[in-house]
């Protein structure tokens, strides 16, 4: 992409309404525009990152055998009346009536609808196990939408639902989700710690929230510092192997890590003092096993091997796809701007032309631009007739992991400059060497 043809409305001023750094940087980098409280347009740069995050979520879900589908954003009230949540959900649910006076709502989540789909088509245990998920916009009329996309009213969520014959199978699905989530967040350059959470009115012991530690996080968390040393890395996993998935769950959840709702001072006190931490965190996902509650109410039954009709064991598993942009920026920025982890960066590298209009410099930039594309990379070429200082500031703000600076002085020596956004370190090398380094 050539910057002269892109739509990147960066702001020089820091927007007064933004209280936290990720919100400020997303506005300044021209990624989002607020349209109403908690409702945003995703401008090209923000949309690109959103799509990359979505892609990672899709890939990791599908590796585990979870099937994508797409349910609508608008739902009829009927199913929610059956489950009993239509009244219970309260003012966070956006309700309206259509022209025929039918009660409708903008979905805040999809347990009812997915259970209805499965109830309609699945009647035998032979169709199980089954996990269906979608990535779709949700609406929750949050009392206090704030912090940009971190607490929006309209937001993008991945929500997945498992349907299993037994509790044991459903807990395997729970463990599978835990593994997929660990991998998903790590690919985004994030450490998200699974913490024991409150299961709320549905009850049950099986729920973990995934939290990214950050001062601006809305959750209060308590943990054993040893947990921050764990990474899943690129180890292989057989998702069908129950014992293997269970072992990962045990590895990642055996140390103390809880949100304030489940915090237990006595248990916390048993950890050696130097390892006790209390901090703030951003909830970027949650997994949940809740049994047969919805399947009983919405009639999701199958016949088992003995010919008995039994309700399905279910769980639901969410990732805050749009919130993740904010969480990643909170975790990775400096005073000049965003520092995108390689896994989610909107462009792989930026090319800065220091003397636009100089034939040799322009030609070198074109060669670099084409060379990087030929390697399957997507560069952003700042080909505008602007001063170097402004170009550098824009690149630092939008946070691409690499910048290649091309100017007449370097070219005389046969070199361009490769700069890491993260370390700020620069290295001079030939143009082809720079392409090879980035590929
Ligand atoms: P929170 O405690 O932050 O209100 P939640 O527990 O109500 O979140 P879940 O129902 O668990 O949310 O939804 C799954 C995920 O969707 C959350 O872990 C979070 O990452 C994301 N999410 C929830 N509410 C919002 C929101 N208002 N804006 C952006 N993302 C959200
Ligand atoms: Mg909430
Ligand atoms: Mg929560
Ligand atoms: Mg939650």
Please answer whether residues 405 and 354 qualify as being in contact, where contact means their C-beta atoms are separated by less than 8 angstroms: yes
Contact by Cβ (8 Å): 161, 314: yes
Average pLDDT, integer, range 306-318: 97
Q: Which of 352, 346, 330 has its CA nearest to residue 399?
A: 346
Bond into 129 cis (ω within 30):
yes
Binding site membership of 323 for ligand 1 (Cβ less than 6 Å): yes
Dist. CA 253 → ligand 2 center (Å): 23
Q: What is the dihedral of CA 47, 53, 58, 59, to 10 degrees?
A: 130
Q: Three-state SS across 230-282?
A: CCCCCCCCCCCCHHHHHHHHHHHHCCCEEECCCCCHHHHHCCCHHHEEEEEEE
ipTM over 0.85: yes
Does ligand 1 come within 6 angstroms of the Cβ of 66?
Answer: no
Q: What is the C-alpha separation between 283 and 370, in angstroms, rounded?
A: 41
Q: Is pLDDT at 274 greater than 90 in this prediction?
A: yes
Distances (CA, A) of 246 to 5, 78, 239, 242, 317: 51, 38, 10, 6, 17
Other C-beta atoms closer than 10 Å to the C-beta of 253 total: 17
Burial class (CB in 10 A: 0-12, 13-18, 19+), 255: middle
d(CA 401, CA 369): 16
In tens, the pLDDT along 69-81 reads 999 999 999 999 9
Distance in Å, CA 244 to ligand 1 centroid: 29
Q: What does DSSP assign to residue 191?
A: -
Quick one: which ligand is closest to 316's CA? Answer: 1
Is the pLDDT assigned to residue 201 strictly greater than 70? no
Nearest-Å Rg of the Cα atoms of the chain is: 24
Q: What are 112's two structure tokens?
A: 């009812």
- pLDDT at residue number 202: 61
Whether 93 shows a pLDDT value over 70: the answer reads yes
Q: How far is the CA of 197 from the centre of ligand 1 (A)?
A: 13
- Work out the pLDDT band at 200, boundaries 50, 70, 90: confident
152 CB near ligand 1 (under 6 Å): yes
* Residue 198: per-residue pLDDT: 86
- Residue 335, C-beta contacts closer than 8 angstroms, at least 6 positions apart: none
Question: pLDDT of 10-57, one tens digit each?
Answer: 998 888 889 999 999 999 999 999 999 999 999 999 999 999 999 999
Q: How many CA atoms lie within 13 A of 205 on its CB side?
A: 2
| Nearest residue by C-alpha to atom 28 in ligand 1 | 151
Looking at the chain, the whole-number percentage of residues with pLDDT higher than 90 is: 97
What are the Cα distances from residue 394, in Å, to 29, 346, 382, 386? 8, 14, 9, 11
Identify which of 112, 154, 157 to mutate to test ligand 1's pocket (most ligand atoms within 8 A of the CB): 157
Q: Is the CB of 317 under 6 A from ligand 1?
A: no
CB environment 228-248: b (16+ within 10 A), e (fewer):
eeeebeeeebebeeeeebeeb
pLDDT, position 204: 64
Atom of ligand 1 nearest to the CA of 108: 10
pLDDT tens per residue across span 220-271: 999 999 999 999 999 999 999 999 999 999 999 999 999 999 999 999 999 9
pLDDT digits (tens, 9 = 90+) for 364-388: 999 999 999 999 999 999 999 999 9
What integer best gives the mean pLDDT of the chain?
Answer: 97
* Mean pLDDT lowest among 203-212, 220-229, 246-255, 427-436: 203-212
Nearest CA-CA partner of 424 in 407, 391, 399? 399
Summarize pLDDT for 108-156 with one digit per residue, the tens: 999 999 999 999 999 999 999 999 999 999 999 999 999 999 999 999 9
DSSP letter assigned to residue 146: B
Residue 142 CB less than 6 A away from ligand 1: yes
Confidence check: pLDDT of 353 > 90:
yes
Length of the chain: 439
**Alpha carbon of 93 to ligand 1 centroid (Å):** 14
- For tokens 């970027």, what's the residue? 284
Ligand 1 within 6 A of CB of 311: no
Q: Positive or negative, the Cα torsion across 8, 12, 14, 20?
A: positive
Beginning with the edge strand found earlier in the chain, give each strand of the sheet holding 416-420 in spatial order: 379-382, 349-353, 402-406, 416-420, 426-429
Nearest to 50 by CA among 156, 202, 176: 156
The ligand 1 atom at the shortest distance from the C-alpha of residue 152 is: 28
Phi, psi of 83 (to 5 degrees): -80, -15
Question: If DSSP codes are grouped into helix, strand and coil, which group holds residue 332?
Answer: coil
The label of the residue with tokens 């910048």 reads 403
């Amino acid at each position: 992409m050539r910057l002269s043809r892109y739509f990147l409305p960066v702001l020089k001023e820091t927007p007064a309404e933004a209280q936290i750094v990720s919100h400020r940087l997303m506005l300044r980098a021209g990624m989002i525009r607020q349209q109403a409280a908690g409702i945003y347009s995703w401008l090209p740069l923000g949309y690109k990152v959103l799509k990359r995050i979505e892609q990672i979520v899709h890939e990791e879900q599908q590796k585990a055998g979870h099937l994508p589908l797409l349910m609508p954003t608008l739902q009829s009230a009927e199913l929610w009346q059956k489950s009993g949540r239509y009244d219970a959900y309260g003012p966070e649910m956006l309700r309206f009536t259509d022209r025929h006076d039918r009660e409708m709502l903008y979905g805040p989540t999809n347990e009812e609808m997915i259970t209805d789909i499965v109830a309609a088509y699945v009647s035998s245990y032979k169709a199980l196990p089954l996990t269906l998920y979608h990535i779709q916009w949700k609406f929750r009329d949050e009392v206090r939408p704030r912090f940009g996309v971190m607490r929006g009213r309209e937001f993008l969520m991945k929500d997945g639902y498992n349907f299993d014959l037994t509790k044991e199978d459903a807990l395997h699905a729970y463990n599978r989700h835990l593994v997929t989530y660990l991998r998903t967040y790590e690919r985004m350059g994030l450490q998200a710690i699974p913490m024991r959470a409150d299961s709320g009115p549905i009850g049950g012991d099986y729920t973990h929230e995934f939290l990214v530690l950050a001062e601006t996080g809305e959750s209060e968390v308590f943990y054993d510092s040893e947990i921050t040393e764990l990474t899943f890395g690129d180890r292989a996993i057989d998702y069908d192997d129950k014992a293997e998935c269970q072992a990962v769950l045990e590895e990642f959840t055996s140390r103390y890590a809880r949100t304030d709702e489940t915090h237990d001072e006595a248990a916390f006190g048993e950890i050696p003092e130097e390892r006790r931490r209390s901090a703030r965190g951003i909830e970027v996902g949650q997994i949940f096993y809740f049994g047969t509650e919805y399947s009983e109410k919405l009639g999701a039954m199958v016949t088992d091997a003995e010919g008995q009709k039994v309700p399905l064991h279910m769980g639901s598993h969410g990732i805050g796809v749009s919130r993740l942009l904010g969480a990643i920026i909170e975790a990775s920025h400096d005073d000049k701007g965003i520092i995108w982890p390689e896994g989610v960066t909107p462009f792989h590298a930026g090319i800065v032309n220091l003397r636009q209009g100089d034939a040799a410099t322009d030609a070198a930039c074109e060669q670099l631009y084409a060379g990087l594309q030929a390697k399957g990379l997507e560069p952003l070429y700042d080909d505008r007739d602007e001063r170097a200082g402004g170009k550098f500031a824009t690149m630092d703000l939008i946070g691409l992991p690499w910048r290649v600076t091309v100017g007449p002085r370097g070219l005389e020596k046969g070199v361009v400059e490769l700069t890491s956004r993260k370390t700020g370190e620069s290295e001079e090398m030939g143009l082809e060497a720079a392409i090879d380094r980035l590929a």
